[in-house]
Chains A and B, each alone.
Chain A
Amino acid sequence: MASLAVTANEIRKSIIKAVHSAKSGHPGGSLSAADIFTYLYFEEMNIDPKNPKDPNRDRFVLSKGHVAPGYYATLAERGYFPKEDLLTLRKIGSHLQGHPCIAHTPGVDMSSGSLGQGISAAVGMALAAKLRGDDYRVYTLLGDGEIQEGQVWEAAMFAGHRKLDNLVVIVDNNGLQIDGNVADVCSPYPIADKFKAFNFNVVEIDGHDFDQIADAFKAARECKGMPTAIIAKTIKGKGVSFMENQASWHGSAPNDEQTAIALKDLEQ
């Protein structure tokens, strides 16, 4: 687990460098999800960066597509493309679009970014596996603000109804959205009870504790006849002192000075 923490820290540094280079992007939610990304791509998922289109691979859909910097940093760290590419984020000619695009980036299984849509695509992929008797698994990461979208619950109703136990929905519960606290803007709470009501197996964890993350994905594999929702309590901006728990870092880039401080924070 110690090595996972080291990997996650490298991914966090890459997020800061990429967003700084782009002068825009979404660092807060990328940092909150970095440990989940790390566990998925370095432990949990059956994937091969050298064969990103393998039909038997596990799939991942980033439903909260705006945290593309976290996703791209993870894919680069895992070897899908060179880490230098991360500095081209959001620039003309780059394969790293502001939000994930299936046609451009190796390892991206679905275009996403319009909130609420990724989970439906993940459900469709899980359904395809069931229809054809394939044994791959499908993972999708949602924001806690994103679950205000009605489509999320259309998808959850369908997944529960169809007993898609090859589907894992992870909610990055960092508590903040653009306009402030999710609880103040339009409360999604209680999140766990909502997914339980939609016939999900629900696991609540600290999304920065790799032991708890590991146990949650293990519980998801063992659960038959129900999809699993992992509600991961996280800290928006995790690892960077001045970004932690600040909604203002949802979608803004650090300047040179702030980048230096952030990278120093992540050296410790």
Chain B
Amino acid sequence: MADVKKIATRESYGNALVELGKKHDNVVVLDADLAAATKTGVFKKAFPERHIDCGIAEANMVGIGAGLAAAGMVPFVSSFAMFAAGRAFEQVRNSVGYPHLNVKIGATHAGISVGEDGATHQCNEDIALMRTIPGMVVINPADDTEAKAAVQAAYEHDGPVYLRFGRLAAPVIFDPEDYKFEIGKGQVISEGTDVTIIATGLMVGNSIDAAKMLEEKGISAKVINMATIKPLDEELVIAAAKETGKVVTVEEHSVIGGLGSAVCDVLSEKCPTQVLKIGVNDEFGHSGPALDLIAEFGLDAKGIAEKVEAFVK
């Protein structure tokens, strides 16, 4: 995909916030000394009075977001996934989730594609944590187009939303001209008959490529992009399971509690189906260039294709 345009979804987040800020003066962006990394710096430049740097204090930042929302503003609380969902979990649960306040959490640097910073900063647990909170919407966009649309949809949604973004530049998959995002709806990217690959976030592009590799081996894979992990598009998951019999989930997240678990929750109850969960196994990441790590963890197109092939046979 050398000639494909690539943009990190954290960049999309910052740019989308600027567009929201122009339209809505109740949008306020909070950060915890990471504006340069979460890419909210562009919002800070455009609307300095509405960018609140809370310092390195994520628990307090989430609480301030709750207070701003209780007073009628729409805060986008920004940090790395590790700190927004991890460190501040209980603040998100008790100060945002329980009162069901209109706080949007923009979590960047999710997954092992953080790269060189290593395991302390590679959050593979955030989807699992966030989807257990009642009323929380969890969105993991695949590319620039989807990320920008998700930020807009999060603003329009009344209630808490967790938005998951990546550090690594990701190929642009969707054409903004004809792309429509709806919370809770997945999209079929390509049809297939032997197996369904349900992917989310950065893994969507790799899964599309994996499906092409599989096709060369005579395996027909249906590919679904599942940006919203909660509420999950159950109808689409069940229909695909019935259609292809076998289901594979692919995510840059622990295989415990993320997209794979969400899909299994639905299928085990409503349409028992054999599911292969591809993701980060029950282990921590480590330092290294992002693309090398993705390959090492078997999350590149080749790794995904090999696992799917073995699963289908």
Contact = CB atoms under 8 A, between A and B. Distances in A.
Contacts, number: 103
A260 interface: no
B90 interface: yes
Given A154-B59, A158-B55, A128 B67 contact: yes
B52 interface: yes
Nearest to A116: B59
A124 interface: yes
Contacts of B94: 111, 113-114, 117
A125 B60 contact: no
B295 interface: no
Contacts of A110: 66-67, 70, 95, 99
A127 B52 contact: yes
B71 A151 contact: no
A2 B249 CA distance: 69
A55 B98 contact: no
Interface string A91-105: 000000000011100
Given A110-B99, A154-B57, A120 B71 contact: no
A120 B72 contact: no
B71 A128 contact: yes
A117 B91 contact: yes
Chain A CB count within 10 A is highest, among B28, B59, B66, B71, for B71
Interface in B20-71: 28, 49-50, 52, 54-55, 57, 59-60, 62-71
A157 interface: yes
Contacts of B73: 128, 131-132
B61 to A, nearest CB: 8
A123 B52 contact: no
A144 interface: no
A127 B57 contact: no
B166 to A, nearest CB: 28
A121 B95 contact: yes
Contacts of A116: 59
Interface residues of chain B: helix, strand, loop or mixed (majority): helix
A103 B100 contact: yes
Given A101-B99, A111-B95, A157-B57, A119 B63 contact: yes
Contact of A120 (B50, B75, B95): B95
Contact of B68 (A101, A125, A150): A125
A131 B49 CA distance: 8
Nearest to A122: B67
B44 to A, nearest CB: 14
Chain B CB count within 10 A is highest, among A109, A119, A131, A132, for A131
Contacts of B70: 59, 102, 109-110, 121, 124-125
B50 A124 contact: no
B46 to A, nearest CB: 16
Contacts of B75: 124
Interface in A26-49: none
A129 B63 contact: no
B259 to A, nearest CB: 29
A19 interface: no
Chain B CB count within 10 A is highest, among A61, A132, A158, for A158
A158 B54 contact: yes
B63 A102 contact: no
A170 interface: no
Contact of B64 (A55, A102, A109, A120): A120
A131 B66 contact: no
B66 A151 contact: no
18 contacts: A110-B67, A110-B99, A117-B91, A117-B94, A119-B63, A120-B62, A121-B66, A121-B67, A124-B64, A124-B66, A124-B67, A124-B68, A125-B70, A126-B67, A128-B73, A151-B57, A158-B55, A158-B60
Given A110-B70, A120-B67, A128-B67, 5 more contacts: A102-B70, A121-B67, A151-B63, A158-B64, A161-B55
User: Top 10 closest A-B pairs, CB basis?
Assistant: A124-B67, A120-B63, A154-B60, A128-B71, A154-B57, A124-B64, A121-B67, A111-B99, A125-B67, A102-B99
